[in-house]
């Protein structure tokens, strides 16, 4: 069983989520429902749940502020709202789960199943550290990213990423230590969350970290040479934006 704490300032939302879990997720035992962050902190620290369903936007203290005040953080975290773009980016960077309200049953089941699997991997603490660390940084200045792999999660410093390469529905990630990760997410998924001041989409197939650009070779679109020796095409329609981004 997954022992769950639900946190939402709207009683109707708590009731709706509780009902959906009871009817569709028999592996979840609800041990507390909290209408504000203060009650949630007491419940989580004392009951030590396996999973917390957390609303972000709450009066007095929002979900992110609540997380920073917790003593106990060894639980799986599923956010139950993500309409704020900045909040959504921070959540996705840490590879934590989120459910858009109104919560769909199929999405809820998937999130619960992932929470069960992650309890075995014991990666939630590091994901929480990444989330809180990125939130504490200057807005949109993320420091680390959690990358889903076939065996779990790989935690990477964002400044160590040289470039991303698309391969159908997969993405290859090339790092400064010559390591390469392949994950089952599209390049668009990363384009939506990467800080625009550092990462540039230069082609349908590539996003680069401009700090690793060593040389530009002129042409219709041209090519960029990266510090690891990779030579990548720049799409003609991306050329102007690319040259502006690197200071030309």
Q: What is the pLDDT of residues 119-178, one digit of tens each?
A: 876 666 678 877 877 676 545 456 788 877 766 777 888 899 999 999 988 899 999 999
Indicate if 33 and 116 belong to the same structural domain: yes
Residue ranges in the chain modelled with pLDDT below 50: 138, 140
Name the percent of the chain lying above pLDDT 90: 58
The DSSP bridge partners found for residue 157 are: 144
Indicate if 120 and 168 belong to the same structural domain: no
pLDDT the model gives residue 71: 94
Half-sphere exposure of 188 (CA within 13 A, CB side): 2
Per the structure, how many domains does the chain have?
2
Rounded to the nearest integer, the mean pLDDT of the chain is 88
Indicate if 129 and 186 belong to the same structural domain: no
Indicate if 14 and 48 belong to the same structural domain: yes
CA 129, chain centre distance (Å): 12
Q: What is the reported pTM? A: 0.69
- Angle, helix 11-24 to helix 105-121, in steps of 10 degrees: 70
Asked if residue 148 is part of any domain, the answer here is: no
Indicate if 100 and 187 belong to the same structural domain: no
pLDDT the model gives residue 189: 82
pLDDT the model gives residue 191: 86
Question: What CATH code is carried by the domain that includes residue 50?
Answer: 3.40.50.2300
Output DSSP code: residue 238: G
Angle at 11 between CA 9 and CA 131, to 5 degrees: 35
């Amino acid at each position: 069983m997954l022992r769950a704490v639900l946190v939402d300032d709207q009683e109707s939302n708590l009731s709706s989520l509780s009902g959906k879990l009871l009817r569709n997720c028999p592996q979840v035992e609800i041990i507390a429902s909290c209408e504000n962050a203060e009650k949630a902190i007491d419940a989580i620290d004392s009951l030590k749940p396996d999973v917390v369903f957390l609303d972000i936007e709450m009066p007095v203290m929002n979900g992110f502020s609540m997380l920073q005040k917790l003593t106990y953080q060894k639980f799986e975290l599923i956010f139950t709202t993500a309409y704020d773009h900045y909040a959504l980016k921070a959540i996705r960077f840490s590879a934590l789960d989120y459910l858009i309200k109104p919560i769909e049953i199929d999405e809820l089941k998937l999130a619960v199943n992932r929470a069960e699997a992650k309890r075995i991997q014991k990666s939630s603490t590091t994901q929480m550290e990444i989330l809180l660390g990125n939130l504490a940084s200057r807005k949109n200045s993320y420091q680390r990213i959690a990358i889903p792999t076939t065996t779990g999660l790989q935690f990477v410093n964002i400044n160590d990423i040289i470039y991303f390469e698309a391969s159908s529905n997969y993405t290859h990630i090339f790092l400064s230590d010559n390591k390469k990760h392949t994950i089952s997410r599209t390049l668009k998924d990363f384009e939506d969350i990467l800080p625009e001041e550092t990462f540039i989409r230069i082609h349908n197939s590539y996003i680069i970290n401009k700090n690793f650009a060593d040389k530009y070779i002129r042409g219709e679109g041209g090519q960029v040479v990266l510090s690891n020796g990779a030579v990548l095409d720049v799409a003609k329609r991306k050329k102007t934006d690319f040259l502006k981004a690197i200071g030309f």
